[in-house]
């Protein structure tokens, strides 16, 4: 039995199966994703924009899915943005990034970054109080200290709530 964050006790005997799997491999990120990851290591969110339709892409890709032309224009966006949608995760889940079972609850959101109004970045929010969460709230990326950054999306710890004058 496991207890979820909402207090419900559930039979977990069918939730998990154990599969020993030990694989070590390298995956070529490619120029576009590499540029995005290098930006994160520098505390920047870099995205690209289609020269034909103006569409932004997070994470960056090499070809616009709409126009089929090479994406080229790089720009730094954020670190502030606006919450477009959010979700509070209450069921324990396996997180390959840890790796292991993830503590719950935690909040994830689609965030429209300043400078890229047509796309969202999916990341965690610091705020977990449902009464304080709302669509349209302003947030800001909080990066790990520079020496701890690895060039991964997890270099952004979470997005914290910010209050701005109206
Ligand atoms: Zn395009």
Rounded Cα distance, 87 and 135, in Å: 11
Provide the pLDDT for residue 101. 85
| DSSP summary character for residue 15 | T
Task: With a cut of 80, say whether residue 13 has pLDDT above it.
Answer: no
Question: Among all chains, which residue has been given the structure tokens 């709230």?
Answer: 137
CA of 144 to the centre of ligand 1 (A): 33
Report whether pLDDT(82) > 80: yes
Q: Closest Cα partner for 47 from 121, 148, 155?
A: 121
Domain ranges of the chain: 26-161
**Beta carbons within 8 Å of 91's beta carbon, 6+ residues apart:** 4, 5, 104
For residue 153, the CA-to-ligand 1 centroid distance in Å is 25
Of the candidates 143, 122, 120, 123, the one whose C-alpha atom is nearest the C-alpha of residue 42 is 143
Phi/psi for 31 (5° steps) reads -60, -45
Ligand 1 centroid vs 114 CA: distance in angstroms?
20
pLDDT of residue 10: 80
DSSP assignment string, 122-134: EEEES---GGG--
Residue 73 banded pLDDT, cuts 50, 70, 90: confident
**Contact of 86 with 135, CB cutoff 8 Å:** yes
Residue 16 pLDDT greater than 80, yes or no: no
113 phi/psi in degrees, rounded to 5:
-75, 145
Other CB atoms within 10 Å distance of the CB of residue 33: 15
Which of 15-19, 99-103, 125-129 is predicted least confidently? 15-19
Q: What are phi and psi of 32, to 5 degrees?
A: -70, -45
> Tell me, what's the pLDDT at 106?
92
CA of 151 to the centre of ligand 1 (A): 27
Q: Where residue 20 falls among pLDDT bands split at 50, 70, 90?
A: confident
- Asked whether 156 and 40 are in contact (CB, 8 A), the reply is yes
Query: Are the beta carbons of 162 and 114 closer than 8 angstroms?
Result: no
Check residue 34 and give its pLDDT. Answer: 92
Ligand 1 centre to CA of 57 (Å) is 10
pTM: 0.81
pLDDT per residue over 111-141, tens digit each? Answer: 999 999 999 999 999 999 999 999 999 999 9
Top-confidence residue, 65 or 1: 65
Q: From ligand 1's centre to the CA of 34, what distance in Å? A: 21
**Ligand 1 geometric centre to CA of 67 (Å):** 4
Distance 71 CA to ligand 1 centre (A): 8
Distance 51 CA to ligand 1 centre (A): 7
């Amino acid at each position: 039995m496991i207890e979820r964050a909402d207090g419900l006790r559930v039979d977990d005997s069918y939730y998990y199966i154990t599969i020993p799997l030990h694989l070590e491999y390298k995956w070529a990120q490619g120029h576009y994703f590499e540029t995005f990851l290098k930006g994160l290591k520098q505390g920047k969110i870099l995205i690209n924009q289609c020269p034909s339709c103006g569409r932004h892409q997070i994470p960056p890709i090499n070809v616009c899915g709409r126009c089929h032309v090479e994406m080229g224009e790089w720009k730094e966006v954020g670190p502030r943005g606006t919450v477009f949608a959010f979700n509070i995760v209450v069921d324990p889940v396996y997180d390959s990034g840890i790796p292991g079972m993830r503590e719950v609850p935690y909040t994830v959101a689609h965030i429209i970054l300043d400078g890229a109004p047509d796309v969202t970045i999916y990341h965690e929010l610091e705020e977990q109080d449902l009464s304080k969460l709302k669509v349209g709230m302003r947030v800001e990326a909080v990066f790990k200290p520079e020496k701890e950054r690895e060039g991964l999306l997890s270099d952004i710890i979470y997005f914290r709530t910010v209050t701005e004058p109206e």
